[in-house]
Amino acid sequence: MTVEFWLLLGGAVFIAAIASVRVAHRSGLPSLLLFLGFGLVLGESGFGIQFDDPNLAKHIGLTALAVILAEGGLTTNWNHVRRAVPLALILATVGVAVSIVVVALAVAGLLGYEWRAALILGAVLASTDAAAVFSVLRRLPLPPRLAGILEAESGFNDAPTVIAVVLLSSVTDPIPSLGEFVLKAGAELLIGALVALAVGPLGALALRHVALAASGLYPLAVLSLTFLAYGGAVHLHGSGFLAVYMTALILGNARLPHRAATRGFAEGAAWLAQILLFVMLGLLASPGEMPKAVVPGLIAGTVLLLLARPISVMVSALLARMARLGRTGLREQAFLSWAGLRGAVPIVLATIPWAAEVKGSEDIFNQVFVIVMVFTLLQGPTLPFVARLLGVSAPGEVHDLEVEAAPLEELNADLLQVKVPPGSQLHGVEVFELRLPAGANVTLIVREGRSFVPSTTTRIRAEDQLLVVTTASCREQVELRLRAVSRRGKLAGWYGERGLE
């Protein structure tokens, strides 16, 4: 098989994968299921392509996850997630530990696993998947804090779980004590955070003051800085995943030149990494060995979904409340439990013990593969329904509308899109009655498929889509005012409504 053949095959697979994203978007499925399917079709039970190197799969998988986390950090709005960060950090540390213990106890008792294998399975399944969460939840109309918790958690929790899986897969008997685990993990997380706090601000400062020869170099420079943080942290025996996510989060919110182009480039790189990663994992799987993994996989997945995840969320929410870091209601906790999507991350983590030749690790890989396929198919499409059922959806929330617009960058401005849901008190309000700050204006209304520039006396109607241009300095005030008017009408201020969550 020549290089040209592999280029032909790779191009065909990527085109098919790109086309399938449309199907995934309409159905609400995370695209990873379709990409994994392509890998299975190309593998030993389909076209017969042989790939059975778990060590190579591990290295490719970890690199792809670094790219996906970089994109997640670059496209995360810090103003939306900052209030969610305390609970997200607790979920990513204490919540992960609780989930590991609950799953390990359950599979040891129900399936007769040895303790090391049980803990490895619990650690592999403890992390929510950044790619799955970003692709599904960013299409859901959720309150900023709730969406921020899920986004920040999926960005932060990869680091602790990778540390746990690596330690459990590499240590010799007996298993180290809890104190040794906490000390080791804490040191790696601290080093990763310090690397990010050095690379991120310095990189942002340099990019703002150095005029590069071409605009296309800025996205390359930003992504290179995230890789620099990842590699530097790993070489210092720190957490590369925490370093890459925090560095990307800093750079993505630093108002760099050609910011929209950088985010678009990062998004494309993340899609490329996802397709490569999921197809590779599909190739690595052996469909002939899956049937015997179905029953234990379904048992472990059910424990994770209905027991481990809810307990970890409740414990984390309780700790956050006791520490006065914010209160999360029962409905929000229930949604957080159901929305803990698993995807490529658990499958990639399952290659670590397999590459280390841990006893029973190939069975763990097969079970994790079954869990991801079945429970992603169950959870992903049902998230909008569950959000409505629990009353946590927020269809009138403002969200970013990304456009390539150099004037917006020069003005340090944002373009926001607001859809007026049925029942919103925005219905019937004239544009001037919104009383937006001086740095903001409704520039366009889309109504029944037609767009027009509103006047100050134009009445807003339900189902309208408003395009609002606002300077960065008054963006938060704009969001609060629009949310307040949506709740109580144009006299929201008289009722004491300030638009807070």
pLDDT of 212-239, one tens digit each? 877 788 899 999 999 999 999 999 999 9
Query: Which pairing describes strands 399-400 and 465-471: parallel, antiparallel, or unpaired?
Result: unpaired
State whether 114 and 65 are in the same domain.
Answer: yes
* Cβ(229)–Cβ(195) below 8 Å: yes
| Confidence at residue 90, expressed as pLDDT on a 0 to 100 scale | 93
pLDDT band at 396, cuts 50/70/90? low
Q: What is the CATH number of the domain that holds 485?
A: 3.30.70.1450
Residue span of the structural domain in which 368 resides: 3-390
| CA dist list (Å): 45 to 127, 207, 288, 374 | 30, 49, 8, 20
State whether 413 and 319 are in the same domain.
Answer: no
Residue that has been written with the tokens 């919103």 in this structure: 424
Query: Which pairing describes strands 399-400 and 440-447: parallel, antiparallel, or unpaired?
Result: unpaired
The answer to whether residue 501 is domain-embedded is: no
Number of residues assigned to the chain: 501
State whether 467 and 378 are in the same domain.
Answer: no
pLDDT tens per residue across span 426-435? 999 999 999 9
Q: Which of the residue ranges 21-25, 132-136, 378-382, 422-426 has the most confident prediction, judged by mean pLDDT? A: 422-426
The answer to whether residue 500 is domain-embedded is: no
| Confidence at residue 25, expressed as pLDDT on a 0 to 100 scale | 67
How many Å is the Cα radius of gyration of the chain?
Answer: 23
pLDDT tens per residue across span 429-485? 999 999 998 888 999 999 988 999 999 899 999 999 999 988 888 888 898 899 899
| Confidence at residue 397, expressed as pLDDT on a 0 to 100 scale | 64
The answer to whether residue 144 is domain-embedded is: yes
The structural domain count of the chain equals 2
Contacts of 211 (CB under 8 A, 6+ apart): none
447 phi and psi, to 5 degrees?
-135, 120
Q: What is the CATH number of the domain that holds 364?
A: 1.20.1530.20
| Confidence at residue 119, expressed as pLDDT on a 0 to 100 scale | 92
pLDDT tens per residue across span 98-153? 999 999 999 999 988 888 899 999 999 998 887 777 766 666 778 878 888 888 88
* Cβ(282)–Cβ(42) below 8 Å: yes
User: Helices 54-74 and 144-156: crossing angle, nearest 10°?
Assistant: 150
Closest CA to 317 of 105, 19, 86, 150: 86
- Residues 212 and 207: their CA atoms lie apart, in Å, by 8
- Amino acid (one-letter) located at 498: R
pLDDT band at 201, cuts 50/70/90? very high
* Cβ(274)–Cβ(348) below 8 Å: no
Mean pLDDT of 379-387: 85
Four-CA torsion 329, 335, 340, 341, nearest 10 degrees: -160
What is this structure's pTM?
0.77
